Amino acid sequence: MPLVRVELKKRPDPTFAKRVGAQIYAAMRSTINVPEHDNFQILAEHDGEHFVFDTQYLGIQRSDQLVIIQITLNEGRTLEQKKALYQTIARNLNTHLSIRLEDVFINLVEVKKENWSFGNGIAQYAS
């Protein structure tokens, strides 16, 4: 059950953020075995004053088209799966939405399964 947060600068196209989310979901399905319908996303657009980042950290030249993606998910994916996820998200966003590879920032937050409640006040994944 990943929870995806996408933060980006407001674009003229009102569908842009949702299309970013669709590419992330497709990448998660193909690389880390996220099941169909397991799609929960918070898509937030910001004005330039409220979207702050370093344009050169680690020698990566970022533009104001940066997309910051944070995915909270159950722990247990391998390093290879995580690398494949990063590459697939970046490639999908570049290919389908013309987002530069340098402008794709991804952070994974891994949690134990008992840290989720999908509704009804129940920890559905707790053993």
Could you give the residue numbers annotated as active site?
2
Structure tokens at 8: 């980006």
The structure tokens 């992330």 sit at: 24
DSSP designation for 25: H
| Kind and range of the H or E run holding 77 | none
12: phi then psi, degrees, rounded to nearest 5: -65, -30
